[in-house]
Amino acid sequence: MTQVIDFGKSVVSSFSQSISIPIAGSPSSNTLTEFGLATAQAGNVLLNASVGVQTVQGNPNFLFSILRGSTTIFTVMASAVAVNLFEPYCFSYVDANVPAGYFAYRLTVTIVNPSASNAANLIGPVNFSGLSLG
């Protein structure tokens, strides 16, 4: 029978247009949020993220990454559609067969095609949560 081992979350902003943070271009990145989570041997961790972005200029491509400790365990790329458009990005990932321990989970974002003509801001929401199951 599956048991809930731990739950963690980090909320930078719950509302759209409540923050304005420029997104860094590759090779730099923004650490959006992180939290710690206890895990059971060979357990699973369900991770959920919601990030609100507004393009300032151009058509930047974003790379969102989830890290367990210093190891990237998930990436997803998204492309901006239009300038000044609010775009909410939501995604989930299951980190399967995790070793027992206590781990930091971190959410990052970078613009992979940085230039003077590609820019965007984080405007909220920025939410990241994890449910550890064993």
Could you tell me the pTM of the whole model? 0.94
- Give tens-digit pLDDT for 26-53: 999 999 999 999 999 999 999 999 999 9
Q: Please, what's the largest Cα pairwise distance for the chain? A: 53
- Give tens-digit pLDDT for 97-112: 999 999 999 999 999 9
- Give tens-digit pLDDT for 10-20: 999 998 889 99
Four-way CATH pick for 4-133: 3.40.1260.10, 3.30.1370.60, 2.40.50.140, 2.60.120.660? 2.60.120.660
Q: What is the pLDDT of residue 17?
A: 86
Which residues are paired to 129 by β-bridges? 9, 48
